[in-house]
Amino acid sequence: MDAEDLGTDLEKVLIDEQSLQDRLREMAAQVDADYAGRDVLLVGVLKGAVMVMADLARAMSIHLNMDWMAVSSYGSSTKSSGVVRILKDLDTDITGRHVLIVEDIIDSGLTLSWLMRNLTARGAASVEVLTMLRKPEAVKVDLVPKYIGFDIPNEFVVGYGLDYAERYRNLREIGTLAPHVYS
């Protein structure tokens, strides 16, 4: 679906489809160059990262493996606590592997720093992060993603994998919702 399909539910489009795809292609070229000659494992974090993963992987020109994790962080629904529970673990033994975590968005960064520690402790040769979006809060944590699509303002966004109450993941753009949607 696109912005038109949402009518007045959408407040504004923050990043249009073309800009998302252009940026992804740039990042894919960087990842290609950085991992040339190495065996890279892309680890997508369900469910938000499915769109980024699908488009990034297809824009890359080197061989890669793909795996998925699902995690949930304890705490309220709007604020991450940094304590994480694994809902679906990797199928892959990552000992000695070059792991690139693929994420939709980093907000507090708490979930991701837990994930990096967890994957590093399994003996991965390297663990890096690619995220499509980063919010201002994330700049405070001790975690520097190797690849960042866009830095966005501190607003709740939906689309391109990101949901509100499990909706809007299939919106091709990234945008903000009108206040009436939340009430």
Which residues are tagged catalytic?
107
CA–CA distances in Å: residue 57 to residues 49, 113, 143: 12, 23, 23
Decide if residue 48 touches Mg ion (CB under 5 A).
yes
Nearest to Mg ion of 18, 72 (CB atom): 72
Least distance in angstroms from the C-beta of 144 to ligand IMP = 14
- Asked if 85 and 61 count as a contact pair (C-beta separation under 8 A), the reply is no
Least distance in angstroms from the C-beta of 152 to ligand IMP = 8
CA angle 166, 145, 59 (to 5 degrees): 70
CA–CA distances in Å: residue 117 to residues 25, 85, 95, 163, 179: 28, 14, 14, 26, 37
107 touches, from ligand IMP, Mg ion, none (C-beta below 5 to 8 Å by class)? ligand IMP
Residues that bind ligand IMP (CB under 6 A): 48, 73, 80, 104-112, 156-158, 162
Nearest to ligand IMP of 74, 156 (CB atom): 156
Kindly state the number of chain residues that form the binding site for Mg ion, as judged by CB under 5 A: 3
Least distance in angstroms from the C-beta of 96 to ligand IMP = 27
Nearest to ligand IMP of 35, 127 (CB atom): 127
- Asked if 42 and 53 count as a contact pair (C-beta separation under 8 A), the reply is yes
SS3 137: helix
Closest-CA residue to 102 (of 167, 45, 172, 17): 45
111: left (phi over 0), alpha (psi -120 to 50) or beta: alpha
Least distance in angstroms from the C-beta of 37 to Mg ion = 30
Decide if residue 109 touches Mg ion (CB under 5 A).
no
| Residue ranges in contact with Mg ion by CB under 5 A | 45, 48, 104
